[in-house]
A and B are shown apart, each in its own frame.
Chain A
Amino acid sequence: MEVLKIATAGSVDDGKSTLIGRILYDTKSLTTDKLEAIETRSKANGFDYLDFSLATDGLVAEREQGITIDVAHIYFSTKRKSYIIADTPGHIEYTRNMVTGASTSQASIILVDARKGVIEQTYRHFFINNLLRVKDVIVAINKMDLVDFSEKKFNAIKVDFEKLIAKSEYKEQHVTFIPVSALQGDNVVDASENTPWYKGQTLLEHLEELDAQDLYEKSEARFPVQTVIRPKQAEFHDFRGYAGKLYGGDLSVGDEVTVLPSLTTSKVKEIFFFDQKFETAGRGSSCTITLEDDVNVSRGDMIVKSSEKPRVEKQLTAKICWMDSKNLIPGTNYLVQSGSSRVLAKIKSISGIIATDFSGEDKEANTLSLNEIGEVQIQLSKPLAVDSYKENKASGSFILIDPQTNNTAGVGFIAP
């Protein structure tokens, strides 16, 4: 079955966790025992309604404060699809957790409070979804019950939001607006009688039709080698298999391939998945391939079709979302990890901090602090095979690891 990964985004108290709880409730995905737990706790907290955020806020500190601190992954399924929702925090200080949730999602739900309209956090959330090139964005204009289900309010927010879309860089992004009340369940799973003026789909109807398969937008085959399999058993004495996951494209037996960064060439001899051989591997497959020639391939190398070579570079320009409390400053060393490659790198310079309000007013700066996004130039100690993020999300992105703390300090999106 198809698996659609969705991330939520929205400001504090916009009702993200409540919306997810509502989806679970209305699709009958909450089991009796979980529902009972929500009922008991809602009552204990003095609510006369079911507090669905209790279904997703899994940490004591979250329930104490009534906020989401870290990403919770929530699962449900319909007859058509399996869904994984990353319920992400809205607080600005937890932006890094929001990026964590959105990085593996194909769709995103941005919540806007109908009373407040488009606010700074909305800009920020849309900007990140735009930067990450999340294909489908659903703007759920929530708490419609608190504005008398006003069509005028809905349209005004939509017009405001469309101004952001006009300024965005990723024009192919598909944005849909839906008026909802997460608390009461209007247009979440079932169509609402309170919004007769709204002719579109409910949130779930819309999700059901989204394409879950399109993980990598451009289909050039990228096969980063994770590990080399050498069984050294009688039956497979000379077996040397390259295990990895295929990002983008197809790879077939007989394809002429180049190993990067060494530029050695060969041909695909066999494609294994467990004990079976295949003629072609499609994108997203974790498989093991062997090559015709006895070439030197190891972890961190990338196998590609010779006709579709990526760039091999020692200098990168990338947008970085900084996630560490220790500032990013030029002259410092970090490890750049992209999939299975990890190389030592030096931060050369920072061009500036990117304005996430679509104003285009980038700030000049020589450091990046927590949750800031900036354009950064990086010198690598060894050449790396990369694409731009636009071309391939896997080979076009990387993380920065602080070699002193081992923390994942930032995420980079490689420029075209």
Chain B
Amino acid sequence: MEVLERNKKQIVKARKLTVNPLESEAIYIFREVVAQFEKPVLLFSGGKDSITLVRLAQKAFYPGKIPFPLLHIDTGHNFPETIEFRDRLVKELGVELIVRNVQDSIDQGKVMEETGRYASRNSLQTTTLLDALEEFKFDAAIGGARRDEEKARAKERIFSVRDDFGQWDEKNQRPELFDHLNGKIDLGQNVRVFPISNWTELDVWSYIEKENIEIPSIYFAHKRKTFVRDGMIWSAEDNVVFRDKDELVEERLVRFRTVGDMSCTAAVLSDAITIDKVVAEIRESTISERGARIDDKRSEAAMEKRKQQGYF
């Protein structure tokens, strides 16, 4: 019995915390945010990146609760699966969820609905986001943007200072050295914080797999009414996208690689119904994740321009 007890102790002794450098970095960043800012908020879209952020935040403050609310800028064109997932997650975690609607910004006459066959509410989000940050006096908005997503995002700092118009001054960013994150800002300014800056799409998926994190069902292959435009597969299930008569609706087996606004997120053909199959598919893919984001194709500098205006 004594021998057994000793063996058990040795087993416990061997339990050394080994490091996933990306996870450790993200947790460090979360803790800096909470320590350095008065009123942080986590921008939550219900997509895989913000879901990963939520798990990392949980880890950073355990056994305490996540010490800031989640903010969802709802374009009104979300996939219903995402909204259902969002509400369930928030309930489980017992965190506060704030929702602000792009529709309200439209109704207030602050932004104008786009027209035409490429009309999207994606860029309209910026105004609603900036208004929400001002309304609640949030001084740090944590987002799931990654530098590998897009070439303008590759230029982003982890603590990215925005002026009181929400603008990103890409040519005059603060140097960021070692782990010494400078969160000092003037009243009215805010900081966008990107804890998973250094993660790649595959890192996120591998993490979701390893941690067994639940994600909305649209990330997995399902049958969906779709049509093809410009070589991309668009969802035809909701009346969000104006469809030409010759754009035929067909049922296809698809999944989504990113979960943005329905009006600008294309699906990919896939039969991946489990997380390991999704990871395998991403590993083999020859198209980048943003290749399925229709609004990024508007011009070579689409993302940079949106970021200058306060997009996250």
**Measuring CB to CB, which residues of chain A are less than 8 angstroms from any residue of chain B?**
3, 31-34, 37, 41, 55-61, 63, 69-75, 77, 82, 84, 96-97, 99-100, 103-104, 226-227, 229-231, 233, 235-236, 239, 241, 243-245, 250, 271-275, 277-288, 299, 323, 335, 337-340, 393-394, 397-399, 401, 406-408, 411
A280→B17 contact, CB < 8 A: yes
B300→A41 contact, CB < 8 A: yes
Interface stretch of the complex, out of B181-189, B215-223, B235-243: B181-189
Rounded to whole angstroms, the CA-CA distance of A284 and B18 in the bound complex is: 9
Q: Which of B21, B170, B178, B184 contacts A3 (CB 8 A)?
A: B21
List 6 contacting pairs A-B, 8 Å CB cutoff, sorted by A. A97-B175, A104-B178, A230-B64, A284-B24, A339-B180, A394-B179
Rounded to whole angstroms, the CA-CA distance of A245 and B59 in the bound complex is: 13
Rounded to whole angstroms, the CA-CA distance of A201 and B100 in the bound complex is: 56
Interface stretch of the complex, out of B148-156, B244-252, B273-281: B148-156
Nearest Cβ on chain A to B263's Cβ, whole angstroms: 20
B175→A411 contact, CB < 8 A: yes
Q: Which of A37, A100, A273, A340 contacts B175 (CB 8 A)?
A: A100
Q: A56-B151, A84-B198 are in contact. Are A33 and B17 (CB under 8 A)?
A: no
Q: Does B4 contact A (CB under 8 A)?
A: no
Query: Which B residues from 87 to 115 make CB contacts under 8 A with A?
Result: none
Closest to B35 in A: A227
Q: Determine the chain B residues whose CB is within 8 A of the CB of A275 once the complex forms.
A: 62-63
Nearest Cβ on chain B to A68's Cβ, whole angstroms: 10
Q: Determine the chain B residues whose CB is within 8 A of the CB of A406 once the complex forms.
A: 182, 184-186
Closest to B9 in A: A279
Query: Which B residues from 117 to 173 make CB contacts under 8 A with A?
Result: 147-148, 150-155, 170-171, 173
B175→A235 contact, CB < 8 A: no
Q: Determine the chain A residues whose CB is within 8 A of the CB of B185 once the complex forms.
A: 406
A245→B28 contact, CB < 8 A: yes
Query: Which B residues from 185 to 243 make CB contacts under 8 A with A?
Result: 185-186, 197-198, 200, 202-203
A279→B180 contact, CB < 8 A: no
Rounded to whole angstroms, the CA-CA distance of A226 and B153 in the bound complex is: 27
A286→B14 contact, CB < 8 A: no
Q: Which of A57, A84, A100, A273 contacts B17 (CB 8 A)?
A: A273
Q: Which of A56, A59, A96 contacts B170 (CB 8 A)?
A: A59
Q: Determine the chain B residues whose CB is within 8 A of the CB of A230 once the complex forms.
A: 64
Rounded to whole angstroms, the CA-CA distance of A231 and B67 in the bound complex is: 10
B24→A285 contact, CB < 8 A: yes
Q: A275-B62, A282-B19, A337-B182 are in contact. Are A99 and B31 (CB under 8 A)?
A: no
A286→B62 contact, CB < 8 A: no
B28→A286 contact, CB < 8 A: yes
Q: Determine the chain B residues whose CB is within 8 A of the CB of A335 once the complex forms.
A: 184
Q: Does B6 contact A (CB under 8 A)?
A: no
A271→B21 contact, CB < 8 A: no
Q: Determine the chain B residues whose CB is within 8 A of the CB of A299 once the complex forms.
A: 35
Q: A3-B22, A73-B147 are in contact. Are A397 and B154 (CB under 8 A)?
A: no
Interface on chain A toward B: helix, strand, loop, or mixed SS?
Answer: mixed
Q: Determine the chain B residues whose CB is within 8 A of the CB of A104 once the complex forms.
A: 178-179
A282→B175 contact, CB < 8 A: no
Q: A282-B19, A397-B177 are in contact. Are A74 and B154 (CB under 8 A)?
A: yes
Rounded to whole angstroms, the CA-CA distance of A288 and B61 in the bound complex is: 9
Q: Does B34 contact A (CB under 8 A)?
A: yes
Q: Determine the chain A residues whose CB is within 8 A of the CB of B58 once the complex forms.
A: 274
The 9 closest A-B pairs by CB, nearest first: A58-B151, A286-B27, A33-B291, A31-B288, A226-B31, A406-B184, A231-B64, A278-B17, A280-B16
A103→B155 contact, CB < 8 A: no
Rounded to whole angstroms, the CA-CA distance of A408 and B32 in the bound complex is: 16
Q: Which of B25, B59, B147, B197 contacts A273 (CB 8 A)?
A: B59
Nearest Cβ on chain B to A158's Cβ, whole angstroms: 31
B35→A231 contact, CB < 8 A: no
B287→A226 contact, CB < 8 A: no
Q: Determine the chain A residues whose CB is within 8 A of the CB of B8 once the complex forms.
A: none
A70→B198 contact, CB < 8 A: no
Per-position binary interface string of chain B over residues 8-48, scored 1 when its CB falls under 8 Å from any chain A CB and 0 otherwise: 00001111111101111101100110110000000000000
Rounded to whole angstroms, the CA-CA distance of A136 and B21 in the bound complex is: 19
Q: Which of B17, B171, B176 contacts A282 (CB 8 A)?
A: B17
Q: Determine the chain B residues whose CB is within 8 A of the CB of A37 once the complex forms.
A: 300
Q: Which of B63, B147, B175 contacts A75 (CB 8 A)?
A: B147
B62→A73 contact, CB < 8 A: no
B63→A231 contact, CB < 8 A: yes
Nearest Cβ on chain B to A30's Cβ, whole angstroms: 9
Q: Determine the chain A residues whose CB is within 8 A of the CB of B180 once the complex forms.
A: 337-339, 397-399
A31→B291 contact, CB < 8 A: yes
Rounded to whole angstroms, the CA-CA distance of A241 and B62 in the bound complex is: 9
Q: Determine the chain A residues whose CB is within 8 A of the CB of B155 once the complex forms.
A: 58-59, 70-72
Q: Determine the chain B residues whose CB is within 8 A of the CB of A74 once the complex forms.
A: 148, 154
Q: Determine the chain A residues whose CB is within 8 A of the CB of B202 once the complex forms.
A: 77
Q: Which of B60, B177, B301 contacts A408 (CB 8 A)?
A: B177
Rounded to whole angstroms, the CA-CA distance of A69 and B173 in the bound complex is: 10
Q: Which of B19, B64, B203 contacts A285 (CB 8 A)?
A: B19
B178→A103 contact, CB < 8 A: yes
Q: Does B304 contact A (CB under 8 A)?
A: yes
Nearest Cβ on chain B to A71's Cβ, whole angstroms: 7
Rounded to whole angstroms, the CA-CA distance of A286 and B179 in the bound complex is: 12
Rounded to whole angstroms, the CA-CA distance of A74 and B176 in the bound complex is: 17
